[in-house]
Structure 1
Amino acid sequence: MLGKTEPSKPSPMKRFNLSLRGLRPLIPLLGLALSACGDKPPPPAAAAAPPVTVAQPVKRTVTDWDEFTGRFEAVEEVQVRARVGGFVNSVEFRDGAIVHAGDLLYVIDSRPFEAVAEQADGQLSDARAKAELAKRDLDRGLSLVQTSAVSEQVVDQRRQALQAAHAAETIAEGALKAAKLNIEFTHVIAPITGRASRHLVSAGNLVQGSEGSSTLLTSIVSLDPIYIYFDVDEATYQRNSRLWFEGKRPSSRDTPNPVQVTLTGETKPSHEGKMDFIDNRLDVSTATLRSRAVIPNQDLSILPGQFARVRLIGSSPYEALLVPDAAIATDQSRKIVFVVKEDNTVEAKPVVLGPLDEGLRVVREGLKAEDRVIVDGLQRARVGAKVTPQTAKAPAGGKS
């Protein structure tokens, strides 16, 4: 039985020729595609210069201020204590109320002191009677000694008795005054005008007077005006002293230089005052000079113990250039501003800055009045690149 023969496989060369024969219709299209890939794309359109807002520095007369942290303290502060001992009959003020000098605060039982006063009054009357009797005896002795009815020794004895009677009378008068003072002290009055604290002793309690450890009853602090204390660092003190020697700034020791106070939570000064005191030495541990200003507090809104920022005049008025703080950039350790030149390219200028003045930053060095400073769009500015400047209507944060 004859077997079936398998069909022979084409050779590799023959398969390649067959493949080329199938691709011939696609060769012209492939050539067109390759020729298209060789062409260069058209160049992109040049990007427009980024817009920025520019403004010339503001020129005006300014005054430098030094700023410190201060704390308010009362001009007058009194601890009200009992001057006589006894039981408290009543409390005559409301806790935390404003009291005036002479207002009644406490009443202490005065009956024991009234009894002592009556006793002292009786002793004074007795002493006066004895002094009157001694005077009469002396007058009689002086008459009798003329006729030698009594000796000079008797007259001297009667004169000494009169002097002793006058001394006893003086002692009795002093005892009566002391007794009356104790009666007066049973009415505890406010020594100053201010705001009282809470009452520390209630009615019915026994208090100790000044003869022992006197009992604290309450305290009173004055509120208007009020002091603010702050510490000036040594460098600022030396600079201000140098300005004083040069005649450019009055000394706060001799002149009530103005101060401005910004309370906690405020963004600008709300109270004004004047310098009142500078200590006579620097603190050896902190190298600071304790200073004080007095601030009017007519609305009684400031309380002792509050913190605040104190601005003290630090120079005489001078002409300065100012720019918004937002226009200032930092380059490592330098402060710079970006200005737009005549050809609208950006240039960076290092500057020396001063303090803030009404929302604008003083530029001591590095700028000219005619410079066009970039005040908005700093992130789009590149040194040496062109920009499209647009003039600001008014400098942000300042006044023209």
Structure 2
Amino acid sequence: MKLRRALVGAALVAPMVVGGFVLASDASDAPGSAGGAQAALPEVVVAEVVTRSLSESAEFTGTLSAVQTVELRPRVGGYIESVRFAEGGLVKAGQVLFQLDARTYEAAFARAKADLTQAEERLALAETKYARGEKLLSDKVISESDFDVLKADRAEGRARVESARAAVRAAEIDLHDTKVRAPIGGRVGQALVTEGNLVSGGTAGATLLTTIVSVDPFHVYFDVDEPTYLRFASAGPTGRQADGRVHPVPVRLALLGEEGFPWEAKLDFLSNRVDPVTGTARARAVLSNPSGKLTAGLFARVRLETGAARPTVLIDETAVGTDQLGRYVLVMRPDASLEQRRVELGAAEGRLRVVRKGLAPGERIVLKGLARPGAKVTPKLVAMAQEVTRP
């Protein structure tokens, strides 16, 4: 029985670790303790909060998307004669990617030009007859009806020439389209059709040859919450450009595995509605990619500036404890006693976390050690980590 009481007493005075510090029971109140008031004050590691001027921001998850995406299909049909690009490589606008067998289209072009020559010769004859008829009509050698025939022949000749010219132009375009060119510059995909295959063209069901996506710049799409949306959508005339679009607010990005937010972009679009199911709205930023390192479909962490720069409190995350009511830290009062303070945390800044509510500049908090709210301690002052990665 005595052994059981001893074990229970030991459990009552055992310290409980929460966050980076230890919440200890009051040993002076335990049965059998003597001289608790005269016991040495516990030593704890204390650091002053870091204060930096940072812009108010919010973080989201986004996806990179190409500004332009093209499914390349031929405008004319025929056999593939050659494929003239490296799969997965960069291509320039106007570069020939596929060559179709052009012999049939060359012949059609030559026939159209011959028809045009014939029509021009017939028109020249009709013009001559018309000029002669005008003189004969003035001399009353021919009748009005005969002259009307000459006039109609001239008009018909002119129409035939215009039709032949249009046929030549159409044949020339078809011949030109036997060289399938890249309509945009970017990164080309896999060649879905190789040499010797017959492809169809000129219709909605034309054969898909390959795809091309632009690489510079990129769009970054992400969904913002309602408070963030209202900051921009309700900004009024001063918050938007003359055409009603949002101002190009700075946006920072980080790809998978990157520290901080090394990529810089600009907000250029905010949706005109909030999804009532998710409570979010689609936003878009424009990201330069001159090196071609990025590719469509990558995920990115997005930091959007939502307010002007202001003094911001940052703390080491190891100082934060958690209980059923939420997150808190232990703040050291001027008389070296400790106060439990509820805090609201913001985004991470390297090894530090932004404190939105709960702490003021100049306050000192417990990083680690045996401590409990209300108790007095012997502080060991150290410097808070100074790592702030935001540019």
User: TM-score w.r.t. structure 1 length?
Assistant: 0.82
Encode CA deviations 1:134-161: one digit per residue, 9 max, x unaligned. Answer: 1111111111111211001111110111
Does the 8 Å contact 1:257/1:274 carry over to 2?
A: yes
The residue number in structure 1 matching 2:16 is: none
2:205 to 210, 213, 222: 213
CA positional deviation for 1:346 = 2.3
Q: Distance in 1 between matches of 2:305 and 2:319?
A: 26
Shift in alpha-carbon separation, 1:368–1:199, aligned structure 2, 3 A = closer
Shift in alpha-carbon separation, 1:384–1:96, aligned structure 2, 3 A = same
The residue number in structure 2 matching 1:61 is: 53
**Structure possessing the higher radius of gyration over alpha carbons:** 1
The residue number in structure 2 matching 1:10 is: none
Runs of 5+ unmatched residues, structure 1: 1-40
Does the 8 Å contact 1:55/1:395 carry over to 2?
A: no
2:286 to 280, 287, 294: 294
The answer to whether 1:307 aligns with 2:299 is: yes
CA positional deviation for 1:212 = 6.7
The answer to whether 1:348 aligns with 2:340 is: yes
Q: Distance in 2 between matches of 1:71 and 1:334?
A: 32
The residue number in structure 1 matching 2:131 is: 139
SS at match of 1:216: coil
What does 1:222-301 align with in structure 2 at a 5 Å threshold? 222-241=214-233, 244=235, 253-301=245-293
SS at match of 1:294: strand
Q: Which amino acid aligns with 2:118?
A: D
Does the 8 Å contact 2:50/2:315 carry over to 1?
A: yes
Shift in alpha-carbon separation, 1:116–1:273, aligned structure 2, 3 A = same
Q: Distance in 1 between matches of 2:347 and 2:250?
A: 17
Does the 8 Å contact 1:83/1:210 carry over to 2?
A: yes
Aligned-pair identity in percent equals 39
CA positional deviation for 1:195 = 0.6
Q: Distance in 1 between matches of 2:236 and 2:348?
A: 26
Q: Which amino acid aligns with 1:307?
A: F
Does the 8 Å contact 2:68/2:214 carry over to 1?
A: yes
Of the structure 1 ranges 346-355 and 219-228, higher mean CA displacement relative to structure 2 is found in 346-355
CA positional deviation for 1:398 = 4.7
1:81 to 60, 70, 73: 73
Q: Distance in 2 between matches of 1:210 and 1:189?
A: 15
Q: Distance in 2 between matches of 1:352 and 1:209?
A: 61
CA positional deviation for 1:126 = 1.0
Q: Distance in 2 between matches of 1:109 and 1:311?
A: 52
Q: Distance in 1 between matches of 2:250 and 2:158?
A: 62
What does 1:1-400 align with in structure 2 at a 5 Å threshold? 48-211=40-203, 213-241=205-233, 244=235, 253-377=245-369, 380-395=370-385, 397-398=387-388
Cα RMSD of the aligned pairs, angstroms, is: 2.5
CA positional deviation for 1:193 = 1.0
SS at match of 1:326: helix
Q: Which amino acid aligns with 1:390?
A: K
Q: Distance in 1 between matches of 2:164 and 2:284?
A: 50
CA positional deviation for 1:241 = 4.4
Encode CA deviations 1:3-35: one digit per residue, 9 max, x unaligned. Answer: xxxxxxxxxxxxxxxxxxxxxxxxxxxxxxxxx
Shift in alpha-carbon separation, 1:339–1:282, aligned structure 2, 3 A = closer
CA positional deviation for 1:320 = 2.7
Higher RCO (CA 8 Å, separation ≥ 6 residues): 2
Does the 8 Å contact 2:351/2:385 carry over to 1?
A: no
Runs of 5+ unmatched residues, structure 2: 1-31
Q: Distance in 1 between matches of 2:360 and 2:201?
A: 74
Shift in alpha-carbon separation, 1:366–1:146, aligned structure 2, 3 A = closer
Does the 8 Å contact 2:246/2:270 carry over to 1?
A: no
CA positional deviation for 1:348 = 1.4
Encode CA deviations 1:227-246: one digit per residue, 9 max, x unaligned. Answer: 1111122232124445x359
- Greater per-residue strand proportion: 2
Shift in alpha-carbon separation, 1:145–1:261, aligned structure 2, 3 A = same
SS at match of 2:94: coil
Q: Distance in 2 between matches of 1:301 and 1:72?
A: 12
Does the 8 Å contact 1:324/1:395 carry over to 2?
A: yes
